[in-house]
Structure 1
Amino acid sequence: MASFPLQVPILDGANYNNWKFRISVLLEREQASHVLTTDPPSHEKKTERADFLKLDSKAKAIIIQGLKDKHLDIVKTCNTAKLMMEALKGVFARDSGFSKLNLWRQLMNLKFDPATRLEDHFMAFDSIIQNLKELGTEMKDSDKVCHLLLTLPEQFNNVITALATVADVNMDFCKARLLDQELTFINKQCESGGGNEEVSFRASDSGCFICGDKTHFKRQCPRFKRNRRGRGRGGRRGFRNNNSCYQSDSTKVNNAEVSLVALNSCSTSQFDGNDMFLIDSGCTSHLVKEELELYMNDIDQLDHEVTIQIANGSKMSAKKRGKLRIFCQGTYVNIQALIVPGLKHNLLSVGQLTSKGHTIMINRQCLKIRGNDFELSCDHEHGLYVLKFSTSGVQNCSSAQTNSNLWHQRLGHLGRDGLRQLKLPVAEELCRPCVEGKTTRQPFYKNEKRSRKIGELVYSDICGPINPPTFDGHRYFQVILDDCSHFVLVRLLKNKSEAEEHLRTFIRETETQFDVKIKRLRLDNGGEFSSSSFKKFAQEKGLKLEYTMPYSSQMNGKAERMNRTLLNMIRVKIIDAGIPKKLWGEALKCSVYELNRSPTSTLEKGQTPSLLWNGYSELSKLRVFGCQAWYSQLPRRSKLDPRANSAMMIGYCGGGYRLWIRDDEKIIRSRDVVFQENIMVYKVLNSEQVFDHEDTSVKNQERNIEETSPSPDPKKTPTKDEKQPNGATGNVKPVDSNILPKRDVKKPAHLKDYHLYQAFCYLVTGEEPSTYEEASQNHEWKSAIDRELESHQKLQTWTPENLPDGEVPIDTRWIFKNKEDGTKKARLVARGFQEPFEEGGEFAYAPVCRMQTVRILLSIAAQNDWPIKQFDVPTAFLNGFLDHDVYIKKPQGLEC
């Protein structure tokens, strides 16, 4: 028995299953298939081990011959053929859940294309079924039939109905019936399509069922006609003209490719010119005469000689292929054609034109070839369609190209569409000045669909710096936006470097609190998100980082649009409430809280971002930003003290509200709040200041009136320090218009104290740090801190102790002040308000004297002419004695 040569298939990645099957068959032929499933015998069995290793080496050689160079690294470290196949399986085998899901999606979306044949459709269907079987999903024969019938269009309904009445239908019987129905359709089309006056040939037509050529149907097929010659009376004779050709199946003659052409009988005299093409529907390639070789470019020598067979039995050969550039009907067209010595006519193949996507329209008068940027008309002469082109245009191809560029320049670098409308030549080469002067950015199409799951895509961006900063020094804010729910979170930042840590915290909180894993992060191209540590964090979490291109913020458009929306809401709140701009941070937080509870166009009706993210969305807590608020005062000092204080509503917190105390410039949180939403705090206070100013002017005018002029005393306008009902404003009685106004009183010259004004400006403009971290960076403030700590150590203000069980330590705080003499003063104070209140007990912290008391004391001393002395206590902790132990936390900067 003769053996055939061993041909090893090549693995390209996509054909792994077929490649694996071929390799297993080859190994079975070599009787070495068992090495893929068993391990080598032990060393004690020397004979069996030697035989096994011999077959294993042969198997490894076959496997390596079937791999490309780029895939050899996968198996270089494998010692046996079994390990090699396992390594290749780990890389190329599609046995994941996603692969199975993708195959089921392909099966559900598979539909029969009428432009193809049923056999091709069956092959695609069987391929999906086989892949599912290899992944462990084997379908019953009846289920396969049902899935196959679901992929067919309505024209097969009759067959589907007939198959539904047959019991136990298998795949072979189903396919046979469907193929018979397809053959019936093709025969009906051929019989009904003979009288059409106009035919449209396209690359997607069903074509001939006999030879498979898509340029004609069965009734025009030369092979079908040749097989019927001589049958019956009146059978047609063969073509007798020497220039006639016929088309047959592709064959091999002396190992050379055969290109077959078809041409009707014609007279050769009027078509012998070099400046015309004959349109041939049976020609498989464009063919040109040898005389046109001088005008062709990119001429290549063919690897194998192409043979052209004529109808009379003679043969012609082509050894070269080139590109012919013709000028026809104001358009340049490139034609890739075979150069055939001895050819009498230039032939243009309909099959080649349709394969390139061109459309051919045929009627009795002409034939039109329509491409993407041209349309050519072919005249009908003596039963043939002829395309004439300019011989001078071919001979002067380079000059024509130059002329096309010349017209392009003459018309001010007019575009190609404009040149075609003017019937002027169009150059295919790129115009460099046009590229440099007219290049625009590509449009940002909205082709990305919204995510279907929370956390699937998250946007983040930073906005700022914003001037002025907030009262606690924040200049930026970071937006974190979920693409699915449109839920947004914001973080206030002092520096951009804080954004990375906030994003890490958001990812961890989302995983722990909501059991949602972030999959993709869309970030801008700034340096705050591109550090190596953040990339390593994303890699550990399995996150995919998507950075925008430089100067292309539109790619992160949703986050940018959210920045604009939030800034608009902040501006409106500041204008409406009349608050200082330094409170923009609180307005931002309040805006985000309201925005998450508002509907958006991206969500379905009735849904809000908070409802999708948190599972609830309530509106009962919402109040007007900047309105009057009264909060309960806790703890209460005495029975007669007020039970509520005035504040301004600036935001929300867990279980309560955030309130702004204007006089103290601090924020408190409270759950027991009463609101007056029709009163805006800052607008009322500003109006009171205006009334106070007007009242002062009236008083000055009254004071300047002569004593002899009788006039009632103006009604006093209450100031903001006086107690009034909420919302009351003073009424100013206008000055009597009969009294002539006095001239303006100027300030005396001796009050223009420049030195006093300079000292006041110094006190106002002096910068004082608010935290220990800021003060420690300046050596003068650091020296003040050291002096304060040394003073406490000398006075033995505290002793280091371990905190007993049940005791609550009190925190400390650093206060920094610029004194009038320019020195820096740092004081360490204890936050005594943190000490728990005990009934009947006393507070450990010292009371603070009110400024009113100090002023009264100074007034009494001045009235009685008492001497006044001022003492400077170097430390804030006075030398007092406590009746119980008080524990404080370790102050910042203290080294024990």
Structure 2
Amino acid sequence: MHYYGAPAMSPAPASYAPALPHAFHTMTLQNPNWNMDTGASSHLADNTGILTSFSNSSMYPSVFVGNGHSIPVTHTGHSFLHTSSKPLHLNHILVTPHIIKNLISVRQFTRDNDVSVEFDAYGFSVKDYQTGRLLLRCDSTGDLYPVTQQPSSQTPVVLLSFSSTTWHRRLGHPGDDVLRRLESKNLISCRKSKLSALCHACQLGKHAKLPFYNSESSVDSVFEIIHSDIWTSPIPSESGIKYYAIFLDHFSHFVWVYPLHKKSDLFDNFVAFRAYINKQFNVDIKALQCDHGGEYDNTRFHDLFRQNGIQFWFSCPRTSQQNGKSERMLRTINNLIRTLLFQAHLPPSYWVEALNMAAHLLNILPSTAINNEIPFTKLYNQTPTYEHLRVFAILTLMFHINLNHVPHLASFLVTPSIIVVIGVST
């Protein structure tokens, strides 16, 4: 049918047809690449396959695109951009099968991650807004700014798919506030920000007596005051150990543990500990705070301290509160030991294996004793990593096994039918 007033026009040859920009298409391309978009008010994806988590509901039934049309939203989800430093969050992604490119809203991205995005003729850079440190660089040669893939060796995949319950167990059963603090610093990533159920191991392992009050002593650097105490186990370990000593740095709250067969072994272990401090940190211990037990108050210790100018601070007899910092640390460690053993369904005789795990976890978790800073960071001025952690677990084998064939079992203890493995579970 011919319409008057509209001149008839023949179609232009294909070779002369201009390449027109478009905002959406009715075909799903299943393209896994993301593209930076300063005009998008929300992140948009064409399928759920590129998301780390998603739900079947959305508070927005549809979104408007550049030509004025609206397209339906089927899901809402989350994902990450992986960098060598930390994962960058993509929150509240709207999934619509009709979008032709997966779009990152620059406004939402910078707000959620506290970063800046700088565009240039060759690509774009993502930088930490507070420090200006480069987190991600993506080069591009076309009309868009796609997010190019990072090398697989830099991708912290371990942070992706674990629930808060799994991290709670990996990290030695800390509270919700500790998990939220680590997640806010992008050190770990949880599917849920709060634990979904009451932890039975926590309830069994963290019974406590009345607290000791905090020490008011103040120091300016590491190893000015070392707090020490010995705990006696009512049950010998599998290797016959009955005691362990702690050395706690007042400034960083970093703790070292030393299993002992006899209390008299304390002096030799202190000498080894002091030599380690001298060699690794090039400083000497200035003072030791401890109780009035005979394992400390003896000729060998007094001679060593007098010859090297180290101060000896004793608490008064039967006033363990004066050695409160060590007492609180012993209680915290023992709570964690019991919790780990309950979790792994191990008998109490494996407390030494749980002791080493407990000390490591406490050193890489925020501590209220130092205003929620991390002892490892205070001591080494570095941020700890958590990818190496696995849930403290037990592997039971009812047959003989050649351990040369399982080199990935890095830490174990063998009995006739049990191998206790540190870090093979989720």
TM bracket, shorter-chain basis: 0.3 to 0.5
Which structure shows the bigger proportion of residues in strand conformation?
2
In terms of Rg, which structure is larger?
1
What TM-score comes out, normalization by structure 2 length?
Answer: 0.45
